[in-house]
Amino acid sequence: MSDRMRSFLASPALLAASALLFAFFVGSVLPAEAAKAAAYTPPGAAFDTSFFYSPNAAFERAAAYGVEGRLAYIAARWSFDLVWPLVYGLFALAAWAFGLERLGAAERIGRVFGAAPHRVLLWIPVLGPLFDYLENAAATVVMASAPARPLVWGLVASAATPLKWIFVLAGIGGALVMPGIVFLRSVLRRARNR
């Protein structure tokens, strides 16, 4: 990653814009999408909100949707769910880059490990959306194949889901914590300098 790209990702302007977009989605788009999904999702059959399920459970969930439910699920994965991972992923990436840059963490970790850690650490917020897309692709094949049971796609869906949640939670968690630490540090510095 070039210094110019790192500087752009760590810019306060990108963090502010991505945070506003994230807040807009959380406040207005997600509730509407959740209401739509609730209308076609059988109780206990959601893929996206589970932390783990077996391939067999994936097949049973797909069958529970029925034809119309499966079509609605697939449509949502390839419309709304193409944009949402980009939104939360950009916010997480910008916040991580901002936080790492302001806290000097990249340089400190680099001295310990002898590598460019920002290149490694910035994968944390990126992997959540990537595993989300993998989960969506695999679950789409499972849904489209029902009542058939494509084992490989069931395995991919069941493996991608916990990996998605691990990296989404780490990415968003870090996105909330690191800028908060930067802000707190600046407030404490100002208080000391008075």
Which segments of the chain have a pLDDT < 50?
none
**Model pTM greater than 0.75?**
yes
Parse the chain into domains and list their residue ranges. 13-21+53-193
- Which residue do the tokens 């990415």 mark? 171
pLDDT at 61 (0 to 100): 93
pLDDT at 113 (0 to 100): 54
Exposure string (b/e) for 148-163, b if CB count within 10 Å is 16 or more?
A: ebbeebbebbbbbbeb
pLDDT at 111 (0 to 100): 59
Which pair of structure tokens corresponds to residue 174? 């870090």
Cis amide prior to 31 (ω within 30 degrees): no
Q: Contact, 55 vs 146, CB < 8 A? A: no
pLDDT at 189 (0 to 100): 80
Cis amide prior to 125 (ω within 30 degrees): no
